[in-house]
Amino acid sequence: MPLKAYALSEKPELEPDFERLAEVGWPRFLRQRDELGCGTFWPSLFTTWAEYQTALYDDAGRVAAVAHAVPITWDGTPAGLPESIAGILERAVRPTLKARYPLAPMERYVTWTTDDGEPFDPWMRVHARLGAEMVRVAPCTLVIAGPIARWEEWTEMAFPESGPYVVPGALQPVLIDRARDEGRYEDPNVWMLHSLKGARP
């Protein structure tokens, strides 16, 4: 079935579909207001930056996928990339299989390859096939912290003692501190650079 791409600025009535897919596509704890401020800016994606929010729409009127982006100014150096999502209102590449390997540091995970030398992670592989190269790991693009009871609600898990916990959807362990009644998660991502010279098939 053919899909058509529309900017949200062209079809503002699709905004509820963007929110619906965010609820389906991201673990509940990642949809909370983070300490670095990204959640504060989320609504501006649908107003100020609506022309950069893209939906794939089928002939039956269903939204199959969405993409979020904002324009940024970058000096071309790895050090010039923002450390957090709030820094640019946009995520670096979030490797889709990393949550299955939460104990492997992101710095090692991004070096894993398939037998034919492509990136092990399928989302990184998509970007690589489009000509992108990895620039660097962004170790902390999003911070979610909250009371332990809230974390137990978000994850449907119990945290009986302090320490790191593997949580579904998290790319690395969530740190639980019973004495402070706090759970804390830092979401790592990867910066990949796309050339404007075209993609390989």
**Domain assignment present for 73:** yes
Contacts of 102 by beta carbon, 8 Å cutoff, 6+ apart: 166, 167, 170, 171, 172, 173
| pLDDT category of residue 127 using cuts at 50, 70 and 90 | confident
d(CA 130, CA 137): 19
pLDDT digits (tens, 9 = 90+) for 155-200: 999 999 999 999 999 999 999 999 999 999 999 989 887 664 544 4
φ, ψ at 160 (rounded to 5°):
-75, -20
Percentage of the residues of the chain whose pLDDT score is greater than 90: 36
Range of the domain at 182: 3-193
pTM of model > 0.85: no
Mean residue pLDDT of the chain comes to 82
| The two three-digit tokens of residue 36, written as one number | 């670095």
- DSSP state letter for 78: G
**Count of helices and strands (H, E) across the chain:** 5, 7
Q: Residue 201: inside a domain, yes or no?
A: no
> pLDDT of 17-32, one tens digit each?
888 887 777 777 766 6
Residues 38-48: tens digit of each pLDDT: 556 677 778 87
Residue 32, domain member (yes or no): yes
pLDDT at 91 over 80: no
More confident residue, 89 or 38: 38
Give the residue-averaged pLDDT of 100-120: 96
Read off the tokens for 100: 């299955």
Determine contact, residues 38/48, Cβ cutoff 8 Å: no
Number of folded domains that form the chain: 1
Segment 121-127 mean pLDDT: 90
- Residue 174's DSSP bridge partners are 165
pLDDT reported for residue 74: 67
Which CATH number goes with the domain that contains 112?
3.40.630
Among 16, 168, 142, 143, residue whose Cα is nearest residue 85: 142
Confirm whether 200 is domain-assigned.
no
pLDDT at 130 over 70: yes
